[in-house]
Structure 1
Amino acid sequence: MNTETQLIANLKSESKREVAFNELVAQYKERLYWHIRHMVKSHDDTDDVLQNTFIKVYRNIKNFKGDSKLFSWMYRIATNEAITFINNRAKQMQISNEEVQDLAIANLQADIYFEGEEIQIKLQRAIATLPEKQQLVFNMRYFQELKYKDMAEILDTSEGALKSSYHIASKKVEAFVLND
């Protein structure tokens, strides 16, 4: 039995669940944090979304069928939680999702956890101009260096579509950065 299979079995076992969940959090916390952070931008908001993601994982692990990797399943939950967060923030503020992203980028420089330079801000502004799906694909490939195969599993789409989407997104980002 491989380690992922064992971890899943332990997560579904009442007696081993807490220890297994702590192991799961330790193993995936950082990767999921950065995935979410590239979407919502703010450290504090990322922490909130990450916590919601792990709550959902904990509550729904018994329904995990193993059709995909555990990592892919959790990434999908994190992605959906981040999108829901952005949608809710937009609704609360009565502005568009794009305006929420613009505000988040504008606040990046004030974020004590942001260590980027001006070029990082410009890159974030460029990414924010992309359609939502291209943003996701660009962030997952560029920042997290995910393989197209894993991205296809997470986003439930073909590798070819992802390669095309990433190529188009890269060209748009490059044009924005060079012409801004």
Structure 2
Amino acid sequence: MHSKLFLLSNSNYYALSPELQKEVYQEFYQFAYSPIIYMVKEHAATEDIIQNSFLKIIESVPRADNEAQLRSWLKVVVKNMVINYFRKTKKNRNDIDAESVYISESVHFATQPADLEQQVELELMKETISQCLKELRPEYRALIELRWKRELSYREIAAVLETSEESVKYKLYRARESMKKMFRKRWGDKHE
């Protein structure tokens, strides 16, 4: 069964009933809010980006064969709108009166600003990974935390969990495979 978002690719949004339009927008809002707020860190700006993204989407939706293709395209539109937001706010920050700003001498600035698109892509990826981790079985989540956050060896993890090293390796393998599957489902195949 397709979500309400799939209606975007198969019909004219304006031809839908007002109730159905509202449901489609609410589903898009749920789809886009979390990654945008994670990057922008401001509710009002997130709301603006969601609305602008949605307006852009309903004006130029491509024909999608399946929901995964549509969701991948929606992610690209949202990502581009976030990039545009950052570019716009960067220009506005540069318009600040230089004499009214105090900058500590101890602050170090990077000589090369990171590519904005790559930064946004990385933030989206981190948010997706974080969501996938939350959905993992508690046993797998604990193993991943012990291995990569606490940087414990297989032997140390086995000691903490009072199990064999082989069991830890096997369960970590299954945890990684489960994470990969969830990540691919959310992130889409085009990013691989």
Q: TM-score by structure 1 length?
A: 0.54
For residues 152 and 11 of structure 1, what CA distance do their matches in structure 2 show?
Answer: 25
Change (3 A) 1:140 1:22: same
Query: Alignment RMSD, CA only?
Result: 3.1
For residues 72 and 78 of structure 2, what CA distance do their matches in structure 1 show?
Answer: 10
Q: Which amino acid aligns with 1:150?
A: K
1:91 to partner: Cα distance? 2.0
1:80 to partner: Cα distance? 1.3
Name the % identity. Answer: 18
Q: Which amino acid aligns with 2:126?
A: F
For residues 9 and 74 of structure 1, what CA distance do their matches in structure 2 show?
Answer: 11
Unaligned runs of 5+ residues in structure 2 are 96-117, 136-181
5 Å-filtered alignment, 1:1-180, equals: 2-4=1-3, 7-8=7-8, 11-12=11-12, 15-16=15-16, 18-61=18-61, 63-66=62-65, 68-94=68-94, 132=119, 133-143=121-131, 147-153=182-188, 156-158=190-192
Contact 1:33 1:50 in 2 (8 A): yes
Paired position in structure 2 for 1:102: none
Which digits, 9 at most, give the CA deviation of each residue in 1:131-179, with x for residues without a partner? 613322112221466932135428x320xxxxxxxxxxxxxxxxxxxxx
Instruction: Name which one, 1 or 2, has greater alpha-carbon Rg.
Output: 2
Unaligned runs of 5+ residues in structure 1 are 96-130, 159-180
Contact 2:38 2:123 in 1 (8 A): no
The number of residues matched between the two structures is 120
For residues 153 and 140 of structure 1, what CA distance do their matches in structure 2 show?
Answer: 11
Q: TM-score by structure 2 length?
A: 0.51
Contact 2:33 2:46 in 1 (8 A): yes
For residues 86 and 127 of structure 2, what CA distance do their matches in structure 1 show?
Answer: 16
Contact 1:32 1:50 in 2 (8 A): yes
For residues 10 and 20 of structure 1, what CA distance do their matches in structure 2 show?
Answer: 14
Contact 2:35 2:124 in 1 (8 A): no
